Structure 1
Amino acid sequence: MKSIGEMLKQVRENLGLTQEQIANKIASQSSIQKIESGKRNPSYNTIISITDKLCIPYDELLYVQNEFQLSTRNKLVFDFQNLGNSLHKDAFNQLNQDLSDYLNKHDDFQLRDLQAVLQSIICFQESQSFTKPRPIVKPIWDRLEKQDDWYNFDLYLLSHIFYIFEPETADEIIAKLLKNIDKYEHYNQNPKFKLSFLLNIVTYYRHHERILDSEKLIEQALEIARACAFDTHQKTAEYAKAEVLFLQGETKKATELANHVFSFFELLKNEPNKKAILDDLKNDWAVLTEKKI
């Protein structure tokens, strides 16, 4: 693997820039030359100043340095993010083992928290109980509850575990999460993160027979899903809207919308997880309408 200095030189030359152009207001040209040749170890601030001049984020420089591969740590986070709606227990268990292997060699409190979240999800999947996984992630909430501000990784963790806590605590977390996620709108430009969180809240309200409380959140989710062409998320939100309409007495309109959603997933039932989603939605609808579908 090339050194940071060699990577800075590679990027600079690829962009057709001279050492003199990069050195301006950062360091002398001879200093840049020594950094690129490995004769001087630059400080972090100097590296950031150079990457700013090169218009390449530091994280991207490391990604290129690693031959366009994620670091082991970032790969673990990436794998967690891409578990999504996976119904395969093996994928969760394998990631749990991979995290254990990494943490046996590295002291990383964020990944320890991430593993706790993962283990709470595994526990919930196996027990279908909200109370059993609670002790696994309670230390995370005990710590974050005392913080004045929540940062991006904090938001990500809590968005996956809020539903495990008592309703009063969960409602407190939801309110604070919604406020803080909006603060990060221009930093975390991944609309699917907020969309998934909104749908998770809707699911939480459904489990606690409070689906009517989610009407505004459903509309927000629909707006994001339509704008970004997230079809599966859109149909999931439309189903939730059908439940709201049904409880508001608009039976015909609700049934038409629900059947439209079922037809969408029926067409895709051979794709991974789609049939399971369809079965879950139909079961939820049967319970809601007290009919067998």
Structure 2
Amino acid sequence: MLQKKIKTKDAGDGLSRTKYYNIENDITQPTYDDLLLILKNLNMDVVEFEFIRNNKQTSERVQLLNRFQSHGHSLKAQKGRKLVEDLKKYGEQHNDTQILNLGLVLDAINILTFDEDLKKANAVVEPVWKRLKSQENWLLYDIIALNNMLYHLTEEEFQIYLPKLFESVESYEGILDSKRATVLVNVNIAYGLRQKHKFSESKPFLEEAIKHAESYNLVMYYDLLYKLAEVLYVEGERGEANRLAIESIDMLVSLKKK
């Protein structure tokens, strides 16, 4: 597991000689706590360890996660289908439920984007949601999967599980871009409520996302302002809705020219 040139007293401090010998020579696998102790002794974090262990390349699993996050709600159908296939293939080969979950979530996103079939999308992600809500803790890939299928939750489930989702996001602040994650969680909550025609209920989540997006991503900020304008229009605030819509469109056109 580790380079043999590293002295046992340096890397294995806190472990018995036998345990460290067995780990070093791949006789036994370290527990998570033992691994963290060894890495601490080496002044190395888990991300760097994985990078070195994978011959100083990003692992295929991390590459798939990066592709998933950068894909978003892309309008390129073929690209979306290819990523779903790659996620499914890797998940099945490695018996990786978290990657399989991302594949199902992206499949549902594609269905919503191109077929606009909410019922079909809900059927695709229902197995994912059953697994997630039965888990005591949500890990990084679980958080990302759930954040992209919030439209599936019922109003009662929103009340029960949203505090847990925000708490989980905060717990991964050292890994996740916390500002981006906060924006996306609120955006996806608002999207889920809009899918249920709960426009007024989506408003506070849009406003919270807008508050964070202004200093994070101006294109996203003005796109969200336009969505807020739609809510205001439904609520009867036509003047303010039109003002925000015009401002948003003008700024989006200007930003895309740069």
Partner Cα distance (1:223, 1:202) in 2: 14
2:2 equivalent among 5, 8, 22: 5
Aligned partner of 1:186 in structure 2 is 171
CA deviation digits over 1:81-139, x for unaligned, max 9?
Answer: 11123211121111122224324532222222222222222233332111122222222
Q: Which runs of 5+ in 2 are unaligned?
A: none
Structure 1 partner of 2:30: 44
Asked if 2 retains the 8 angstrom alpha-carbon contact of 1:5 and 1:35, the reply is no
> Secondary structure at the residue paired with 1:82?
helix
Q: 1:251 aligns with which of 224, 238, 253?
A: 238
**How far apart are 1:269 and its partner, in Å?**
4.0
Q: Distance in 1 between matches of 2:128 and 2:25?
A: 44
Distance 2:131 2:26 in 1: 40
Instruction: Give the match for residue 77 of structure 1.
Output: 65
Checking the alignment, whether the CA contact within 8 Å between 1:114 and 1:157 is kept in structure 2 is yes
Structure 2 distance, partners of 1:130, 1:193, is 24
Give the gaps of 5 or more residues in structure 1: 10-17, 272-293
Which deviations, in whole Å up to 9, do the C-alpha atoms of 1:166-204 show, x marking residues without a partner?
Answer: xxx432343344201221203244231231121122233
- For each residue in 1:216-266, what CA deviation from the matched residue of structure 2 results, as whole angstroms up to 9, or x when unmatched? 212211222134x22122212222333344455543333222211101211
| Aligned equivalents of 2:96, 2:4: Cα separation in 1 | 26
Structure 1 consecutive aligned stretches of length 4 or more whose deviation exceeds 6 Å: none
Kindly indicate whether residue 220 of structure 2 is the aligned counterpart of residue 233 of structure 1: yes
Distance 1:173 1:8 in 2: 53
Within 5 A, what are the aligned runs for 1:142-181? 142-163=130-151, 165=152, 169-181=153-165
Query: Are residues 209 and 137 of structure 1, via their aligned partners in 2, closer, same or farther at CA, if it must alter by over 3 Å?
Result: closer
- Assess, with a 3 A threshold, how the Cα gap between structure 1 residues 107 and 39 changes in structure 2: closer, same or farther: closer
Amino acid at match of 2:220: H
Calculate the aligned-residue CA RMSD, in Å.
Answer: 3.1
* CA–CA separation in structure 2 for the residues paired with 1:257 and 1:126: 28
The one of 36, 58, 76 equivalent to 1:88 is 76
SS in 2 for 1:86: coil
Say if 1:215 and 1:137 are closer, same or farther in 2 by CA, change over 3 A.
closer
Q: Is the 8 A contact 1:35 1:42 kept in 2?
A: yes
TM-score when scaled to structure 2? 0.81
Work out the CA distance in 2 between the residues paired with 1:7 and 1:47. Answer: 16
Say if 1:237 and 1:65 are closer, same or farther in 2 by CA, change over 3 A.
same
Percent identity reads 23
Secondary structure at the counterpart of residue 25 of structure 1: coil
Partner of 1:129: 117
Q: Count matched residues.
A: 252
Provide the secondary structure at the position in 2 that maps to 1:139: helix
> Structure 1 residues 234 and 97 mapped into 2: Cα distance closer, same or farther (>3 Å)?
same
Matched-pair contact (CA < 8 Å) for 1:225–1:234: yes
1:264 aligns with 2:248: no
SS of the counterpart of 1:44? coil
Answer whether contact 2:150 2:188 (CA < 8 A) is retained: no
Check the 8 A contact 1:96/1:115 in 2, yes or no.
Answer: yes
**CA offsets per residue over residues 13-52 of structure 1, 9 Å max, x none?**
xxxxx76454443455x987x689x656564144321101
Distance 1:57 1:129, change over 3 A: same
What is the distance in 2 between the residues matched to 1:160 and 1:145?
A: 15
